[in-house]
């Protein structure tokens, strides 16, 4: 009889574990609290607009990279149309001066030297590292748990030439690196490359990927992308139970060892299984579904001491005219500051003009989105729960004030506004259950560097975790690769040779 695996969460990680296990002869079922696949990798429809809620770049989007080969096991990558941006983003100040952060390293170097010649040394450091990283080939991430001496050797061989730079720049945060700039425009441009607490090395590597055109955007958007993986999983014989919120991971003990033996949903229904994988939020998995019984002091300290990517509000506007811009992503000042919540007042805004994807707005019209980071998830959840009318009014106010604050830069918006939407941290928690509404799990800070969390728990057999909560930095590749890794470990445990099936192979 086939071994049965219960998987919690139909995000990219959960569907990845499920697909690889189906390829290897397991019977799997995914339980998902929402009614859609994808988790954070999602989109939603409003008034004829297809609001994208996730993918800015998909690492492994082009051939020649091991990650591309892994994606091609889940998605027919040849059929995916990829758009590569020329400009990562453009930062503009009050006087209209701007820096274009080009994805091509040569153009970027020229632009930065031209705009901030006094920061030649900082620019040289960034450009030198990004150029070096552009020839780095990542090994196909086998889980650490299965590493052999040969794998270690191969990793050292591949990464050896870059270790010095990786080590040096993983110890410097984006904020500290930006702090070296004398030119205020360059300082702000670098500060806003990603969350300021993250190691600068990760954006240097991103620049290298962008330069190589291996981190493009899949036309159609995030939900369409997630649905392709759902399609693959279902075609391989997997099953997804939507609207199925899991409350408990069941365990049994044979006296000396504890084993996971199934899951229980919010209706109290039990689903017995030989193995359980949680690809859902890490905090809920460890402290609620397993009631904290298998959290050792190291994991506890990790959850207490490390910094999460913040939660966020997403403003989405449908404008019934075309908006032209050479950079699709820009940050510029608002004409007046806008209070978002008790801890956040915006004086500038980062927007994305989605005209590069014709599927997101009706012809001749434009979808604009803006991500507004906020760690005020409690405020938003309480406001929504206790004062729903105020919650709605606050959202209306924020939309109104942001629209008005952007008009100086973007031209008339209010008169052309035919769709408006503001999701909040309460929305993120409601639909994905991510802890504190975080959008990517743990930040790779200088103190965390490249550290990964174990995929299993000491003291609990037949249980694994996959996804952004075991792989700091999160992201779609981590979801894919941790899912793949867990499937490989389960194959090893049951004496099977791990096999994969690619499209067009
Ligand atoms: C705005 C935004 C932009 C992003 N941009 C990028 C990008 O450009 N490139 C990139 O690589 N990454 C990006 N990311 C990050 C990326 O989307 C995530 O890191 C990745 O999708 C995480 O996948 P996951 O499967 O680990 O987790 P999730 O997507 O969180 O999936 C977990 C799933 O588990 C379900 N679940 C949770 N609890 C339960 C329960 N109790 N019972 C049943 N089901 C449950 C959830 O509903 C969810 O579907 C972005 C994220 C956001 C929000």
Model confidence at 149, pLDDT cuts 50, 70, 90, reads confident
Question: 238: Cβ below 6 Å to ligand 1?
Answer: no
d(CA 448, CA 446): 6
Does 138 score more than 80 pLDDT?
no
Q: Inform me whether the pLDDT recorded for 28 exceeds 90.
A: yes
Q: Where are the beta strands (DSSP E) in 242-374?
A: 246-253, 258-265, 270-272, 275-278, 311-319, 329-341, 344-353, 366-374
Ligand 1 lined by 369 (C-beta under 6 Å): no
Residues 459 and 258: beta-carbon distance below 8 Å = yes
- Residue 197: its pLDDT value, please? 96
Task: Give the pLDDT mean for 5-23.
Answer: 98
> Between β-strands 4-8 and 275-278, what pairing exists: parallel, antiparallel or unpaired?
parallel
Say what the pLDDT of residue 142 is: 80
Smallest CA separation from ligand 1 atom 19, residue: 475
CA of 143 to the centre of ligand 1 (A): 20
What residues pair up with 49 in beta bridges, in sequence order? 46
83's tokens: 């758009």
| pLDDT band for position 483 (cuts 50, 70, 90) | very high
- Residue 319 pairs in a beta bridge with 366, 417
> Buried b vs exposed e over 286-308: b needs ≥16 C-beta within 10 Å?
bbebbeeebbeeebeebbeebbb
Q: Go through the domains of the chain in sequence order and give each one's CATH number.
A: 4-40+57-78+220-307+443-493 (3.50.50.60), 99-212 (no CATH), 311-436 (no CATH)
Using DSSP, how many helices (H) and how many strands (E) does the chain show? 16, 21
Q: Furthest-apart CA pair in the chain: how many Å?
A: 71
- Decide: 245 in ligand 1 pocket, CB within 6 A: yes
Q: What is the pLDDT of residue 140?
A: 63
Mean of pLDDT over the chain: 96
The pLDDT of residue 255: 81
- Mean pLDDT, range 197-210, rounded to an integer: 97
364 contact partners, CB below 8 Å, separation of at least 6: 320, 321, 322
State the distance from the centre of ligand 1 to the C-alpha of 423, rounded, in angstroms. Answer: 16
Specify the higher pLDDT residue, 332 or 160: 332
Q: Say how far apart CA 66 and CA 246 lie, in whole Å.
A: 34
Question: What number is the average pLDDT over the span 273-295?
Answer: 97
Q: What is the pLDDT of residue 97?
A: 96
Alpha-carbon dihedral of residues 323, 328, 334, 340, nearest 10 degrees?
110
pLDDT digits (tens, 9 = 90+) for 381-427: 999 999 999 999 999 999 999 999 999 999 999 999 999 999 999 99
pLDDT digits (tens, 9 = 90+) for 444-481: 999 998 888 999 999 999 999 999 999 999 999 999 99
| Start-to-end C-alpha separation, the chain | 29
User: How much is the average pLDDT of 190-197?
Assistant: 97
Q: Determine how β-strand 270-272 pairs with β-strand 258-265.
A: antiparallel
Tokens of 398: 């924020």
Q: Report which protein residue has its CA nearest ligand 1's atom 34.
A: 9
Give, using CA atoms, the residue closest to atom 12 of ligand 1: 475
Nearest atom within ligand 1 for CA of residue 222: 17
**Using N-to-C axis directions, what is the helix angle for 120-133 and 184-191, rounded to 10°?**
30
Query: Is the CB–ligand 1 distance for residue 480 below 6 Å?
Result: no
Ligand 1 neighbour 52 (Cβ under 6 A): no
**Which of 17, 41, 314 should be mutated for ligand 1, with most atoms under 8 A from CB?**
41
């Amino acid at each position: 009889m086939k071994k049965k695996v219960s998987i919690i969460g139909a995000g990219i990680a959960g569907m990845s574990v499920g697909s690889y296990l189906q390829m290897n002869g397991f019977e799997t079922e995914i339980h998902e609290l929402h009614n859609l696949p994808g988790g954070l990798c999602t989109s939603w429809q409003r008034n004829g607009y297809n609001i994208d809620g996730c993918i800015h770049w998909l690492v492994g989007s082009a051939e020649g990279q091991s990650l591309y080969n892994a994606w091609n096991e889940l998605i027919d990558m040849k059929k995916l149309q990829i758009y590569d941006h020329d400009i990562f983003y453009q930062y503009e100040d009050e006087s209209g001066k701007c820096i274009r952060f080009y994805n091509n390293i040569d153009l970027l170097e020229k632009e930065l030297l031209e705009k901030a010649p006094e920061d030649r040394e900082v620019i040289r450091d960034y450009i030198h590292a990004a150029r070096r990283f552009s020839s780095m080939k990542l090994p196909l991430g086998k889980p650490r748990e299965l590493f052999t001496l040969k794998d270690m050797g191969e990793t050292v061989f591949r990464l050896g030439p870059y270790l010095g730079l990786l080590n040096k720049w993983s110890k410097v945060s984006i904020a500290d690196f930006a702090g070296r700039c004398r030119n205020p425009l360059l300082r702000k441009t670098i500060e806003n490359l990603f969350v300021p607490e993250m190691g600068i090395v990760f954006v240097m590597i991103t620049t290298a990927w962008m330069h190589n055109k291996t981190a493009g955007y899949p036309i159609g958007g995030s939900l369409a992308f997630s649905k392709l993986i759902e399609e693959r999983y279902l075609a391989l014989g997997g099953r997804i139970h939507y609207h199925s919120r899991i409350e408990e991971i069941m365990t049994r003990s044979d006296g000396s060892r504890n084993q996971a033996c199934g899951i229980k949903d919010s209706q109290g229904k039990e689903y017995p299984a030989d193995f359980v994988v949680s690809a859902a939020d890490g905090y809920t998995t460890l402290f609620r579904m397993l009631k904290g019984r298998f959290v050792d002091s190291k994991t506890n300290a990790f959850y207490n001491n490390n910094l999460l990517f913040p939660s966020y509000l997403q403003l989405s506007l449908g404008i019934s005219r075309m908006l032209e811009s050479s950079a699709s992503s820009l940050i510029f000042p608002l004409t007046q500051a806008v209070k978002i919540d008790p801890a956040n007042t915006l004086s500038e805004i980062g927007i994305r003009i989605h005209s590069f994807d014709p599927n997101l707005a009706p012809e001749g019209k434009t979808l604009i989105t803006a991500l507004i980071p906020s760690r005020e998830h409690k405020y938003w959840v309480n406001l929504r729960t206790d004062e729903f009318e105020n919650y709605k009014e606050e959202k209306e106010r924020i939309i109104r004030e942001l629209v008005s604050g952007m008009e100086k830069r973007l031209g008339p918006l209010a008169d052309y506004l035919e769709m408006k939407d503001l999701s909040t941290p309460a929305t993120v928690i409601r639909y994905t259950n991510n802890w504190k509404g975080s959008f990517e799990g743990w930040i790779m800070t200088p103190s965390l560097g490249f550290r990964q969390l174990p995929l299993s728990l000491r003291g609990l057999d037949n249980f694994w975790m996959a996804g952004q909560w075991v792989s700091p930095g999160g992201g779609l590749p981590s979801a894919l690769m941790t899912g793949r890794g867990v499937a490989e470990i389960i194959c090893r445990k049951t004496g099977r040779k791990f096999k994969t099936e690619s499209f067009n192979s």
